Structure 1
Amino acid sequence: MSQATLGDDEELFGEAANEMREDVESSLEDAWDALPAADEIWETDADNVLGVLNGLKTALDVGDAEDHLRDAKKWFTMGQRADAFEDADDLEAEIETLEEAIGDIADAGEQVGDLTSTIPALRGTLEDAGSVDDADADEE
């Protein structure tokens, strides 16, 4: 192999490494953009608790963030194994932060989902208890 070919290979590898980093950064940005906005989970127009919970459950959907995170991790892993990144600590830290954010949002969504199914049953129980109390008061 000639010196020119080796030089070209290094240049191509450098370009590929830069593109790989850009792919990771782009996927991370897309993942952050896919997460719900803070106002979406904070503000509501609902008239009752169940409406609030249903709206919150909908707002806590991470959308395509998990897919974008997977793409970022895929290209990051490929770049690391190829030793293509000179310094990838920032990418690794952002991937971990994003994973935690997605996990927190998913956990909150599960908790809200539990409440969404519990509140109507609780309301029914309390209404039934109220009708028993009303009946007892009528008998006295």
Structure 2
Amino acid sequence: MSQTSLDDDELFGEAATEMRSDVEASLAEARGALPDGDAVWDVEADNTLGVLNALKTALDVGDAEDHLRDAKKWYTMGERADAFEDADDLAEDIASVEALIEDVEDAREQVGGLTSTIPQLRSTLEEFEDDAADAEADADAEEAEA
């Protein structure tokens, strides 16, 4: 084997190692950008709408999607170049982080829906209570007249 091909093999091996490190680092950054469990669980507010708004804010995935995209990009490059000897763990980690990001985003959308629904529900319930009180007052007035 010539010196050139040995150097090329060594360079390819180094590049593969660096690529794997890049994927792992991007996955770590994606995990780090996800909301903290306590931030989602422990929210403080004066009313339901405040709690929902705080929860929606806490469920922001931040830069996690960008970091996941970087991990997937480097993983794809490494896979296509057949640079990884065993990349099953990377594929599993990518899928795991991707699923978690999707779950957090789904929860954020649900909270967003409640954030817009709760004020309307409150108004409707208050109107219903007012109508019921008016009907009761009218019934009482009719009884008093009779």
Q: Indicate the TM-score class for this superposition, using the shorter chain for normalisation.
A: over 0.9
Tell me what 1:72 maps to: 71
Specify the code of the residue in structure 2 equivalent to 1:86.
E
C-alpha displacement at 1:44, in angstroms? 1.4
Quote the Cα distance in structure 2 between the aligned partners of 1:106 and 1:45. 21
Find out whether 1:10 has 2:6 as its counterpart: no
Gaps of 5+ in 2: 141-146
Specify the code of the residue in structure 2 equivalent to 1:71.
D
User: Deviations for 1:46-99, whole angstroms, at most 9, x for unmatched residues?
Assistant: 111111100011111100000000000000000000000011000000000011
Quote the Cα distance in structure 1 between the aligned partners of 2:11 and 2:96. 31
SS of corresponding position for 1:44 = coil
Specify the code of the residue in structure 1 equivalent to 2:90.
L
Specify the code of the residue in structure 2 equivalent to 1:22.
S
Specify the code of the residue in structure 2 equivalent to 1:45.
E
Tell me what 1:97 maps to: 96
C-alpha displacement at 1:137, in angstroms? 1.9
Find out whether 1:49 has 2:76 as its counterpart: no
C-alpha displacement at 1:13, in angstroms? 0.4
Question: Share of identical aligned residues, percent?
Answer: 63
Specify the code of the residue in structure 1 equivalent to 2:42.
E
Count of residue correspondences: 139
Tell me what 2:128 maps to: 129
Cα RMSD after superposing both structures: 0.9
Specify the code of the residue in structure 2 equivalent to 1:33.
G
Quote the Cα distance in structure 1 between the aligned partners of 2:71 and 2:122. 45
Tell me what 2:37 maps to: 38
Quote the Cα distance in structure 2 between the aligned partners of 1:104 and 1:44. 19
Quote the Cα distance in structure 2 between the aligned partners of 1:61 and 1:69. 15
SS of corresponding position for 2:46 = coil
Select the structure of larger CA radius of gyration.
2
TM-score by length of 1: 0.97
User: Deviations for 1:95-135, whole angstroms, at most 9, x for unmatched residues?
Assistant: 00011000100110111000000000000000001111111
Task: Give every structure 1 segment of 4 or more consecutive aligned residues whose post-TM-superposition deviation is greater than 4 Å.
Answer: none
SS of corresponding position for 2:61 = coil
Gaps of 5+ in 1: none
SS of corresponding position for 1:47 = coil
TM-score by length of 2: 0.93
